[in-house]
Amino acid sequence: MLTLFSILFIFSIFSTATTESNVQAMFVFGDSIVEAGNNVFLDTAAKCNYFPYGVDFPSGVTGRCTNGKTPADLLGLLLGLPHLLPVFYDPQTRGSSILAGVNYASDGAGILDSTRQSQHVISLSHQIANFGETTLPDLKSQLNGSFALSSYLSQSIFFFFIGGGDYMANCTTSSGVAAECDLQSLTELLIRNYTNLLTRAYDFGARKFVVFNLPQAGCAPFFKRQNNGSCVDLLNEGSTLFNNALRPALENLSEDLPGFSFVYINTSGIINEIINDPTTYRLKVTNGSCCFADPDGIRPLCVEGTEPCPDRSIYAYYDGSHPTEELYMHLSTKAYSSDLQTEAYPFNVEVLANLNISLMLIGAPSFHTRDH
Catalytic residues: 32, 319, 322
Beta bridge partners of 193: none
Count other Cβ atoms within 10 Å, centred on residue 25.
22
b/e sequence 336-349, b meaning 16+ C-beta within 10 Å = bbbeeeebbbebbb
DSSP at 119 = G
- 260 φ, ψ (degrees, to nearest 5): -70, 115
If you write DSSP's letter for every residue of 182-241 in order, what string do you get?
A: -HHHHHHHHHHHHHHHHHHHHHTT--EEEEE----GGGSHHHHHHTTTS--HHHHHHHHH
Which contiguous run of DSSP H or E holds residue 139? helix 136-143
Cα–Cα distance for residue pair 336/350, rounded to 1 Å: 5
Given a contact cutoff of 8 angstroms between Cβ atoms, the answer to whether 223 and 176 are in contact is: yes
Cα–Cα distance for residue pair 187/167, rounded to 1 Å: 9
- Three-class SS state of 73: helix
- Three-class SS state of 106: coil
Given a contact cutoff of 8 angstroms between Cβ atoms, the answer to whether 49 and 37 are in contact is: yes
**Cis peptide bond prior to 221, omega within 30° of 0:** no
Given a contact cutoff of 8 angstroms between Cβ atoms, the answer to whether 48 and 32 are in contact is: yes
Given a contact cutoff of 8 angstroms between Cβ atoms, the answer to whether 343 and 213 are in contact is: no
DSSP at 313 = G
Beta bridge partners of 262: 209
Report how far Cα 350 is from the mean position of its chain's Cα atoms.
17
